[in-house]
Amino acid sequence: MLKTYSGSCHCGAVRFSCEIDLGEGIRKCNCSFCRKTRMLKAYALKGRFRIEAGAEDLRSYQATPSAWAEGDVQHYFCGRCGVRGFSWAYLEVAPFFGEFHAVNVACLDDVSPEEIAAAPVVFEDGRHDRQTEAPDFTAHL
């Protein structure tokens, strides 16, 4: 079920709101970027993400070339405290069909520990560009 959450970076300069369904899973990816930043994400599809404050403090990073051969992704972080709250991406496959945000669940301010614990974990093999499949080994994620 979709629920509206508020989120922020560590220092509070960047604030956002999003509508996500944690019942669809918290995603753990094994690509080098997600693995090294320990990103746990949930997807906010088009129109379900808003920057509420701090757009001027956002900085972005995009791997060159893009890690997704069929899409595009920008990773956003706060220029003051360095926390990555979300990424913006464009992918023309289900369920996205265009732009969406990958929200860092750890940056949600009003999510309860019980909600996070109850959410299923979905593994993505981003290391091999197979985001819809789990990698062979997941214990380290």
Give me the domains of the chain, ranges plus CATH numbers.
3-128 (2.170.150.70)
CA 42 to chain centre: 5
Q: Quote the pLDDT of residue 131.
A: 76
| Per-residue pLDDT at 28 | 94
Put simply, whether the predicted model's pTM sits higher than 0.75 gets the answer yes
pLDDT of amino acid 130: 80
pLDDT tens for each residue of 2-52: 999 999 999 999 999 999 999 999 999 998 888 889 999 999 999 999 999
Question: What residues pair up with 101 in beta bridges, in sequence order?
Answer: 44, 88
88 or 69: which leads in pLDDT = 88
Query: pLDDT digit string (tens) for 74-122?
Result: 999 999 999 999 999 887 777 778 899 999 999 999 999 999 999 999 9
